[in-house]
């Protein structure tokens, strides 16, 4: 969780130059998708940690029940989001990811008394540092007049 959070926040911040420089302007429409999906990716380690808790305790029956419940809950909404737009599907992925954190952490609370509130309190300092890192990366990417025209030069200070 510690390296993933700042990396995903950083990816969301630098998505435009990261896509523009190697791939060109043709790929710029994918930038909003990348930003939202990187925010959804920040929660992935919490999913894995909570599922590993259930597995480590030896309760594969609960793991199966949890996975079936998540699939049953998410599949009915998928065709509706697909009909609206791709961006609706991407936002649905983020919303489902947040919901799954609470679903996955339910059994962590039951089995080892480490619920979502405790997990978020323990991760708050890392989230704060990640937010600061993202803000600094965003500020470094602001178009100052001394930069060259390349969007990549906003990422590297020594390219002046």
Residue 1 has what pLDDT? 63
User: Can you give the three-state secondary structure of 71-134, one letter per residue?
Assistant: HHHHHHHHHHHHHHCHHHHHHHHHHHHHHHHHHHHHHHHHHHCCCHHHHHHHHHHHHHHHHHHH
Residue 32 has what pLDDT? 93
Residue 81 has what pLDDT? 66
pLDDT at 96 over 80: yes
- Work out the average pLDDT over 139-158: 52
Stretch among 18-27, 45-54, 65-74, 128-137 having the lowest mean pLDDT: 65-74
The per-residue pLDDT for range 15-40, each reduced to its tens digit, is: 888 888 888 889 999 999 999 999 99
Exposed, middle or buried, 130 (CB in 10 Å: 0-12/13-18/19+)? buried
The residue whose two tokens read 């390219």 is 159
Stretch among 17-31, 97-111, 116-130, 141-155 having the lowest mean pLDDT: 141-155
pLDDT at 148 over 50: no
pLDDT at 109 over 60: yes
Stretch among 27-31, 48-52, 71-75, 146-150 having the lowest mean pLDDT: 146-150
pTM of structure: 0.76
Contact 105, 119 (CB under 8 A): yes
Residue 38 has what pLDDT? 92
């Amino acid at each position: 969780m510690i390296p993933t959070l700042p990396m995903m926040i950083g990816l969301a911040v630098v998505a435009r130059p990261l896509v523009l420089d190697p791939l060109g302007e043709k790929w710029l429409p994918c930038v909003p998708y990348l930003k939202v999906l990187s925010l959804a990716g920040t929660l992935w380690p919490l999913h894995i940690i909570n599922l590993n808790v259930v597995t480590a305790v030896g309760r594969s029956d609960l793991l199966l029940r949890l996975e079936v419940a998540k699939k049953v809950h998410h599949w009915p909404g998928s065709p509706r989001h697909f009909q609206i737009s791709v961006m609706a599907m991407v936002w649905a992925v983020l919303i489902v990811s947040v919901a799954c954190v609470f679903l996955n952490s339910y059994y962590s609370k039951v089995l080892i008394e480490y619920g979502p509130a405790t997990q978020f309190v323990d991760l708050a300092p890392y989230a704060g540092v990640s937010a600061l890192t993202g803000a600094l990366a965003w500020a470094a990417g602001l178009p100052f007049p001394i930069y060259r025209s390349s969007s990549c030069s906003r990422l590297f200070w020594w390219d002046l």
